[in-house]
Each structure stands twice: as C-alpha cells, then as structure tokens.
Amino acid sequence: MHEKTIAELSAALAKGECSSVELTQHFLKRIETLDGGLNSFVTVTAEQALAQAKAADDRRARGEAGPLTGVPMAQKDIFCTDGVRTTCGSKMLDNFIAPYDATVVERFKAEGCPMLGKTNMDEFAMGSSNETSFHGPVKNPWDTARVPGGSSGGSAAAVAARLTPSATGTDTGGSIRQPAALCGITGLKPTYGRVSRWGMIAFASSLDQGGPMAATAEDCALLANVMSGFDPRDSTSIERPEEDFTARLNEPLKDLRIGLPREFFGEGLDAGVAKAIEEAIEQYRKLGAEVKEVGLPNSGLSVPAYYVVAPAECSSNLARFDGVRYGYRCENPKDLMDLYTRSRGEGFGAEVKRRIMVGTYALSAGYFDAYYLKAQKIRRLIADDFARAFEEVDVILGPTSPSTAFKLGEKTDDPVTMYLSDIYTIAVNLAGLPGMSIPAGFSDGLPVGLQLIGNYFDEARLLGVAHQYQSVTDWHRRIPEGFA
C-alpha cells in the first residue's frame, strides 16, 4: 500500500479497495517498525489518527468525501496542533501544547486527513541538515550515515521511506526543496502568501512559506489544493480566487520555454549532480521544450543577503520566548533578568543563538542602514533579475542543491559551508517566487534534486512541468532499500 501515490490511494479509497482505518494502521505500523533508525517523527499520534480515520470512513460512507478524505499525512513540528505538543525542534518548546490548530492543520482536518504525527526538524527551522534539532538528527533513508537535509528533514525522510504518503514542510531559504532533493522526493514551495502562516511558528516572516512534500508532483498538487487559500488571520495571506493546482498537469510541454541560469551551473556544483541535471534537460528537450540560457546576475548575493534578513527577523520573532508566557523556564531564577537570560540561554541551541546574535547586531542603531536596509535593496535586485528572466522564459530550471546528501557531522563545525547548501534555493525566497524540487536520478546511489522555479502564482504550470517529466521517468517511484 505504501508504494502507492496519494492519487492512487485516493482512488483505492473511492473504489472501496481499502478503508482509511486500514491505511492508517498500515502507516502507523511502518513508523513503529522502521522509524527507530531514522528518527523522522518527534511525536506519533496513533490514537488520534485512528479516530480520524474512522471518522473519514464514516464520512465516505455518507457520500461526503473530498479528494483526500481518509489519506493519512504528517505535519512538520512547526505547525501548531491543538492538544498535541509542538516543539519546533527546540528544548524551548519541548513541553509546549498549543491551544489551537494552525490554519494548515485545520485545513487537513477539514478535508479528513488523519494526522499520523509530527515530524522532526532543525531547531526553529534553522539548518540544512536536521542536525540542529533538540531531538537529535534525522537519518537519510538512502544512507543512514548521511543527513536528510533540512530544515524539513523529518518530513523528507518519512516520505522517502514511505512512512507517510505526505508531510508538510516550510521553506524560508530552501527547507522544503533541499531536503526533498537529498531524500529523492517532490516538494513544492508556493508563492509567498499562498499558504497561511497562522499557527506556523515564525522564523523569518517575510520569507517563511509552508508547502507539501510527497512522492510526486501530482500528489503535491492535490495537497496544495488542501493547504492553500486566503486566510484573514495572516496579514500577508493573498486574496485570490481558489485555484485547482491539478488543472495543468497534463498540459504538453511543446513550446514551453525553459531557462537555465548560467550562475547555477558554475563552480561549486558537484559533477554527479551536474550530470543528472543535464540528462533531465535532455529529457525536457525530448518532451518538446525549448531550452535557453538566462542570467540571474545578482544571485551570488542571495546567501549573504539572506543571512542578514533571516537572522534579523528571527531575532525579533524569537524575542517572545522569554520563559514567562510559555515554553522552557529555568529553575530558581534569582530575579527577572536572570529568568530571561537563563531561560533563553538554556532553552535555545547554538545555531539559534548564533542567528539571534547576528540579527540583533544587524538591527542595532547605527548598523541598520549598513546591513538590513542594504540586504533589502539586494533583495529587490534579485527579484528584478527573475522578472527579467521571466520575460524570456516560462520556467527556470537548475539543480536544487550543489551536492547530494552529505555525511552526518560533515558540516556542523563550519556554518558557512552548511549555509552554501541552499545557494540555489535562497534567491527564490528572497523574491517570494514558487519553486519545487523533483527527483532527477542518482549520483553514487544518492538522489539528485532538480529545481523548477516559476513566476508568481504559476504553481499550476510548475506542477505540470514536473508531472510531465515524471510521466516519462520513474525516479520518483524509487524507494530506498530496506523500506520497500
């Protein structure tokens, strides 16, 4: 059952070939037997999932099922879940139980998707390897000595190992696409404002965006239909008519113009990754697409600009964790200052502290213009680069990450090297564009991710471009040994 896509599971449920209770039991059993070596789940909500599955079956019997009713899924532990703990990968929130559901969680509940549990992640979504999690690292199911990517590493590993048909992720600088690439699955980061951020614990609010992670583009389209939509509780949510993200899946690629940014194919790109991407480009040519080079001349500034903007916003967002209202509180504080400093000092991990310090510095009086304002100006230049490229092409294609999954511990002592694993993804967040990663082959037995970037609100086309490739390849069907 677990080798089926969501589209197939949905059809099986509709035909009565299986029930949601059976499906849910199957995936819960897989989590129980297979997640020990992966650590992809922080919390498993078996009892609740089975009750939701039963309700989904009843609903189907009444003839009231939606497309995904009864298909189980998992939530990244950054989304607040009513009555179920939400840790955000941090000691700070280890015992935090939200009194409400995030909009995304509410939407999956309304569709009738049983929630199997909450997936592991880098602390407060800061990281590219899932090694900053308070709950310990997640292992990549393709090679358990390697990282799954981050920050949505638990979601990516769980989907790759088919412990769940799908999981949510969030992408501030690449956290859906990079782990999807390293684990050989499909992930979509929608246009900024498509998916509500309400109840999604904030890291860098002008960049954070939730999205789906699953085996295929078709599945991501079905999930995006559930996840996205206007939410008055999120002030940056975009009010647009409801859209069916599956609408363009079968559109032929003849006359599609694909742009290859020359900056994404230069120094620093692993040869094995480059080879797989070149083969995928060839495949797109065969499908009828026209391929040409484009320039994103300011993309080299994306990592430095991001590492000013993201820490600045995080230093402000994370100020709320003060040991007073909720979250971790130190033992026996001597006074208020001691309560603040020790609660934060003991509750946050090293990477989070590094970001808070960098961000506080960048925002301090006298430095604001030199750092934050400058970074915002670069952000504009980067968005303009994309706007120019989209005058010439319909989608932009390149690698998702410069290398395949690296070894656990390989980059933990060198934050800059770690930061560079998002070199091709970050510009997309700075511009607020939609992007996705799809499996495009292997290099030395490890999955390679292909990135597709679209213009604002062009997710349906992007998903179609991905789906057409998946109709003629089977990389997205591969399941790591030991998890088949």
**Cβ-based nearer residue to ligand GLN, 174 or 184:** 174
Structure tokens at 148: 């799954």
**Cβ-based nearer residue to ligand GLN, 105 or 310:** 310
- Sheet with 290-294, edge to edge strand ranges: 41-44, 115-119, 73-76, 166-170, 210-214, 186-189, 435-443, 446-454, 395-399, 257-261, 290-294
Strands 115-119, 73-76: pairing kind? parallel
260: β partners: 293
**Given 172, 298, 455, 468, the residue binding ligand GLN (CB under 6 A):** 172
> Should residue 422 be labelled a site residue for ligand GLN when binding is judged by CB under 6 A?
yes
Three-state SS at 359: helix
Q: Which 307-346 residues touch ligand GLN, going by CB under 6 A? A: 310
Nearest distance from C-beta of residue 126 to ligand GLN, angstroms:
5
Catalytic residue among 76, 118, 139, 189: 76
**Given 137, 148, 173, 210, the residue binding ligand GLN (CB under 6 A):** 173
**Cβ-based nearer residue to ligand GLN, 214 or 310:** 310
Q: Which segment (67-75, 120-128, 244-252, 288-296) binds ligand GLN by CB under 6 A?
A: 120-128
Task: Report DSSP letters for 90-158, one per residue.
Answer: SGGGTT-B-SS--HHHHHHHHHT--EEEEE--SGGG--SSSTT-TT-PPPBTTBTTB---SSSHHHHHH
Nearest distance from C-beta of residue 272 to ligand GLN, angstroms:
22
> Should residue 155 be labelled a site residue for ligand GLN when binding is judged by CB under 6 A?
no
**Cβ-based nearer residue to ligand GLN, 114 or 435:** 435
Nearest distance from C-beta of residue 310 to ligand GLN, angstroms:
5
Quick note: the x/- pattern for ligand GLN over 180-209, rule CB under 6 A, is -----------------------x------
Task: Work out the burial of residue 232: count CB atoms within 10 Å of its CB; fewer than 13 is exposed, 13-18 middle, 19 or more buried.
Answer: exposed
- Cβ count near 454 (within 10 Å): 24
Cβ–Cβ under 8 Å, residues 71 and 9: yes
Active site residue 175: yes
How many C-alpha atoms does 423 have within 13 Å on its Cβ side?
A: 21
Task: Return all residues near 410 (Cβ < 8 A) that are at least 6 apart.
Answer: 147
Bond from prior residue into 302 cis (ω within 30 degrees of 0): no
Active site residue 76: yes
Active site residue 353: no
> Should residue 362 be labelled a site residue for ligand GLN when binding is judged by CB under 6 A?
no
Cα–chain center distance at 375: 24
**Cβ-based nearer residue to ligand GLN, 323 or 432:** 432
**Given 89, 137, 141, 174, the residue binding ligand GLN (CB under 6 A):** 174
Three-state SS at 15: helix
Catalytic residue among 151, 155, 315, 437: 151
How long a stretch of residues is the chain? Answer: 484
**Cβ-based nearer residue to ligand GLN, 175 or 343:** 175
Q: Site for ligand GLN (CB under 6 A): how many residues?
A: 14
Nearest distance from C-beta of residue 195 to ligand GLN, angstroms:
14
Catalytic residue among 128, 133, 152, 175: 175
Nearest distance from C-beta of residue 180 to ligand GLN, angstroms:
12
Which residues are catalytically annotated? 76, 151, 175
Per CB under 6 A, residues contacting ligand GLN are 125-128, 151, 170-175, 203, 310, 422
